[in-house]
């Protein structure tokens, strides 16, 4: 392969990392440039990723128009609700709230925005509350929403970010994007130019490319770690450095706005989705401990907590350059701004569309790099300043955190805008800025600024003319508002997400509180923990899943030989709690790092198995050096012929074992079988590479727990029980994985 150089045309694009950023980039590039470039995305299947609700802003419509997405389908796939703005509570002062709505307020004149006329009307006693002149604000406060003709209402979405990534993955793969499962072990560079040439995976595969997009999150593996682009911290303006996120069940109907609730040391979000509520808290670790922040978060949520919150550390700021050589960073790998104004997805979108505009089809040129970096810097600094505004302009004096924010020096452009508005009520924007005049006005006045003057053109209207003008706008808003249905009513009629037979908000395993843990010792001394009569009502659980079997899906590229369905959050939380309380000590685990689980069914004929599926395996994909994983299987079938779990140890050296596993990933089934003498079929007995060290028989409602580092396989005897595997529900199990720090 020739190394990537500035003169080489770009034909192979490699995206490092999935998630929201990776799959948004994959979707946009494949839609716009998919016929001209080969696009591959490398990601490692995550264990324990917390999928939180995420709020967006109306610019997302632009991306969806580019992708030609069906709005109803998108909403249903992501459990989305509608968003008309953000309620800021306790920001100006404790007990004082305001609303930042989308869209416009009133009608302005070319010389002056509407707020100038409102200020004049207020001076003369002719104006009511500023929000009375904004349809989006009034609709949000009355929990109403509907799509209106001619873009008559401005809105965004609350969505499940995990489901959004999955939705865009399906979209991208249908357009030819190739997903490669694997953990990046090394980034290859050209010795002379420093350009990236490939991603070396942990299993030995080399994914080569001409152009690379870094979506590896805060680690910034390509741009930061490999290319060494420095990170510029903005902590002196944005003091929060930590966050906690937690999901809760729904408590009442979802409101069409995000709540942002200020605390003495940070702020809390609440984002309602169709199936649950996303909650979180952003705070300064210098002003409050993690435990105190967690207690405050849990004391201020509604509904039942589905997962234990976990601390996330961050440094607000931006890479000095986000395009370096033949690598662009998009998403958290390029920088981080807290989600106060819901700009995270927008910044990914802008990074994508900017890249499409400047895509280096005929080779990477420094002028494109410079232009991309310049535009990115200008755009992110304005967003940064808008967020700083919320902290700096405040009347709060109740804590050192808020006093520090109020007294700090802010960037010069922001300082000018604040003073200009204080003096004249004017907001003078640069071309292409994200936030329009009405956004700045709502936050400026909402945070407590009352301008000393306003534009003199407003004084051209006498009291009657100005009163009629203001009254007419207010009445138009009120008339339209009366026609809008309730938010939930509109969702139910237009875009209700399919409800699982086991709804995430209520599903429980109902683990037997009297369950006894027994220990089976394998031939090598490792232990398997067995719990019989695990669930209190397994028949009801199976019946619910049978009614919901159409939602089981085979995951492309995943080695499991059959369809799967993610475990609802309530069940996962219950299973994780049982594991940590009853078995965490026995397995000598460190701090928990999360869990994932799925319902699974084995249905694949052994003659069609690929090389990976013919082998026993470990559950070690994507683990860092200081991490470990335990696993569990819950058998939910009564035909014991369908098989339990068999455990193995290798008969080879570690090097030879690693080589065999690598070959199973890269060789086709026939070549692998010829090389290692492994015939098609499920691995249930010893061979010349591995020997059996223990076998746990299947039993109705039995659960087993074990160290994921032990080689194991399902004890699948296809020839003896083929009809049973293909019956309903067949070999139905829960497969769970519990990630922890090593002690």
Same domain, 440 and 533: no
What token pair was written down for 669?
């089934």
Q: Tell whether 251 is covered by a domain.
A: no
Q: The whole model's pTM is what?
A: 0.73
Instruction: Out of 446, 478, 494, pick the residue that ends a domain.
Output: 446
E strand segments, 609-701: 627-635, 645-650, 690-696
What CA–CA distance (Å, rounded) separates 185 from 200? Answer: 6
Same domain, 413 and 524: no
Q: What is the CATH number of the domain that holds 651?
A: 2.60.120
Same domain, 598 and 727: yes
The three-state secondary structure class of 441 is helix
User: Would you place residue 395 in the very low, low, confident or very high pLDDT band (cuts 50, 70, 90)?
Assistant: very high
**Residues of the domain holding 164:** 12-235+316-446
Spell out the alpha helix ranges (H) of 484-568.
Answer: 487-494, 538-547
Q: Tell whether 204 is covered by a domain.
A: yes
What CA–CA distance (Å, rounded) separates 139 from 143? Answer: 6
Q: Tell whether 426 is covered by a domain.
A: yes
Q: What is the mean pLDDT of residues 373-377?
A: 96
Q: In the chain, pLDDT over 90 holds for what percent of residues? A: 77
Q: What b/e sequence results for 37-68 when a residue is b if at least 16 CB atoms lie within 10 Å of its CB, and e otherwise?
A: bebbbbbbbbbbebbbbbbbbbebbebeebbe
Structure confidence by residue, pLDDT tens digits, 667-719: 888 999 999 999 999 999 999 999 999 999 999 999 999 999 999 999 999 99
Q: Tell whether 629 is covered by a domain.
A: yes
Top pLDDT among 552 and 11 is at 11
Q: Tell whether 494 is covered by a domain.
A: no
pLDDT in the model for residue 742: 87
Q: What is the mean pLDDT of residues 337-347?
A: 93
pLDDT in the model for residue 556: 67
Q: What is the CATH number of the domain that holds 76?
A: 3.50.50.60
Q: What is the mean pLDDT of residues 247-267?
A: 92
Q: Report the domain count for the chain.
A: 2
Instruction: Out of 409, 431, 446, pick the residue that ends a domain.
Output: 446
Same domain, 133 and 213: yes
Which residues, in sequence order, are CB contacts of 554 under 8 Å at separation 6+? 562, 563, 564
308 has pLDDT over 60? yes
What CA–CA distance (Å, rounded) separates 650 from 313? Answer: 40
Peptide bond into 729 cis (omega under 30): yes
Structure confidence by residue, pLDDT tens digits, 99-127: 999 989 999 888 899 999 999 999 999 99
Which residues carry out catalysis? 83
The three-state secondary structure class of 206 is strand
Q: Tell whether 476 is covered by a domain.
A: no
pLDDT in the model for residue 668: 87
pLDDT in the model for residue 354: 97
Q: What is the mean pLDDT of residues 263-290?
A: 95
Q: What is the mean pLDDT of residues 30-46?
A: 89
Same domain, 441 and 531: no
Same domain, 28 and 173: yes
What token pair was written down for 193?
């130019």
Same domain, 579 and 669: yes
Tokens 């209402």: give the residue.
153
Instruction: Out of 424, 446, 468, pick the residue that ends a domain.
Output: 446
What CA–CA distance (Å, rounded) separates 27 from 172? Answer: 5
User: Would you place residue 540 in the very low, low, confident or very high pLDDT band (cuts 50, 70, 90)?
Assistant: confident
Same domain, 438 and 544: no
17 has pLDDT over 90? yes
User: Would you place residue 484 in the very low, low, confident or very high pLDDT band (cuts 50, 70, 90)?
Assistant: very high
The three-state secondary structure class of 566 is strand
pLDDT in the model for residue 297: 93
496 has pLDDT over 60? yes
Q: Tell whether 66 is covered by a domain.
A: yes
Same domain, 522 and 408: no
The three-state secondary structure class of 588 is coil
Same domain, 527 and 428: no
Sign of the C-alpha dihedral computed for residues 422, 428, 433 and 435 taken in this order: positive
Q: Tell whether 194 is covered by a domain.
A: yes
Same domain, 441 and 567: no
> If you average pLDDT over every residue of the chain, what do you get?
91
pLDDT in the model for residue 506: 45
Lowest-confidence pick of 24-38, 314-328, 493-507, 615-629? 493-507
Q: What is the mean pLDDT of residues 725-739?
A: 92
Q: In the chain, pLDDT over 70 holds for what percent of residues? A: 96
Same domain, 423 and 570: no
What token pair was written down for 714?
């399902």
Lowest-confidence pick of 15-19, 427-431, 586-590? 586-590
């Amino acid at each position: 392969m020739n190394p990537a150089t500035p003169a080489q045309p770009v034909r192979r694009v490699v995206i490092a990392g999935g998630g929201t950023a990776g799959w948004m980039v994959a979707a946009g590039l494949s839609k716009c440039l998919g016929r001209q470039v080969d696009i591959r995305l490398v990601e490692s299947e995550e264990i324990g990723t917390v999928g939180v609700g995420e709020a967006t802003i109306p610019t997302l419509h632009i991306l969806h128009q580019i992708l030609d997405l069906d709005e109803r389908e998108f909403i249903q796939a992501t459990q989305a609700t509608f968003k008309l703005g953000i309620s800021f509570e306790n920001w100006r002062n404790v007990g004082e709230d305001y609303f930042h709505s989308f869209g416009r307020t009133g009608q302005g004149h070319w010389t002056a925005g509407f707020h100038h006329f409102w200020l004049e009307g207020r001076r003369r006693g002719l104006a009511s509350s500023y929000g009375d002149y904004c349809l989006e604000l009034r609709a949000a406060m009355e929990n109403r929403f509907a799509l209106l003709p001619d873009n008559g209402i401005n809105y965004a979405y609350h969505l499940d970010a995990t489901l959004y990534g999955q939705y865009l993955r399906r979209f991208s793969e249908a357009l030819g994007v190739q997903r490669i499962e694997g953990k990046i072990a090394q980034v290859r560079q050209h010795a002379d130019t420093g350009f990236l040439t490939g991603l070396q995976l942990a299993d030995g595969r080399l994914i080569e490319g001409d152009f690379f997009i870094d979506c590896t999150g805060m680690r910034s593996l390509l741009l930061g770690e490999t290319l060494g682009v420095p990170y510029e911290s903005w902590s002196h303006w944005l003091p929060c450095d930590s966050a906690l996120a937690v999901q809760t069940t729904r408590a009442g109907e979802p409101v069409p706005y995000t709540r942002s609730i200020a605390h003495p040391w940070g702020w809390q979000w609440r984002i309602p989705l169709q199936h649950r509520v996303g909650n979180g808290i952003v705070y300064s670790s210098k002003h409050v401990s993690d435990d105190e922040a967690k207690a405050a978060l849990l004391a201020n949520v509604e509904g039942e907590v589905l997962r234990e919150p976990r601390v996330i550390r961050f440094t607000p700021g931006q890479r000095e350059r986000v395009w370096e050589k033949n690598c662009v960073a998009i998403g958290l790998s390029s920088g981080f701004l807290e989600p106060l104004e819901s700009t995270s997805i927008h910044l990914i979108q802008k990074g994508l569309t900017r890249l499409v505009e400047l895509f280096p089809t005929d080779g990477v040129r420094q002028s494109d790099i410079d232009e991309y970096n310049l535009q990115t810097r200008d755009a992110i600094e304005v967003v940064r300043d808008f967020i700083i505004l919320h902290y700096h302009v405040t009347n709060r004096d109740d804590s050192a955190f808020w006093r520090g924010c109020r007294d700090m020096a802010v960037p010069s452009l922001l300082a000018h805008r604040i003073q200009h508005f204080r003096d004249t009520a004017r907001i003078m924007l640069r071309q292409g800025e994200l936030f329009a005049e009405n956004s700045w006005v709502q936050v400026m006045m909402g945070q407590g600024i009352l301008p000393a003057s306003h534009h003199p053109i407003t004084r051209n209207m006498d009291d009657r003319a100005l009163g009629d003008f203001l009254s007419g706008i207010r009445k138009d808003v009120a008339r339209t508002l009366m026609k809008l249905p309730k938010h939930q009513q509109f969702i139910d009629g237009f875009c209700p997400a399919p409800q699982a037979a086991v709804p995430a908000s209520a599903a429980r395993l109902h683990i037997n509180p009297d369950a006894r843990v027994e220990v089976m010792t394998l031939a090598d001394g490792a232990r398997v923990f067995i719990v019989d009569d695990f669930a209190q009502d397994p028949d009801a659980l199976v019946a619910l899943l049978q009614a919901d079997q159409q939602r089981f899906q085979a995951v492309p590229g995943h080695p499991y030989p059959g369809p799967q369905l993610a475990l609802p959050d309530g069940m996962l939380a219950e299973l994780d709690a049982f594991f940590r309380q009853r078995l965490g000590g026995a397995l000598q685990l460190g701090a928990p790092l999360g869990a994932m689980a799925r319902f699974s069914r084995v249905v694949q004929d052994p003659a069609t198995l690929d090389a990976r599926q013919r082998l026993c395996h470990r559950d070690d994909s994507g683990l860092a050096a200081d991490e470990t994983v335990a696993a569990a299987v819950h058998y939910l079938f009564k035909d014991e012929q369908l098989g339990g779990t068999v455990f193995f140890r290798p008969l080879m050296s570690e090097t030879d074992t690693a080589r065999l596993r690598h070959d199973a990933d890269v060789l086709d089934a026939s070549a692998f079988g010829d090389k290692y003498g492994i015939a098609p079929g499920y691995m249930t007995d010893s061979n010349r590479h591995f020997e059996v060290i223990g076998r746990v028989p299947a039993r109705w409602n039995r659960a087993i727990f074990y160290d994921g580092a032990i080689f194991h396989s399902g004890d699948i005897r296809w020839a003896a029980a083929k009809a049973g595997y293909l019956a309903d529900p067949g070999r139905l199990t829960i497969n769970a994985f519990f990630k922890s720090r090593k002690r």
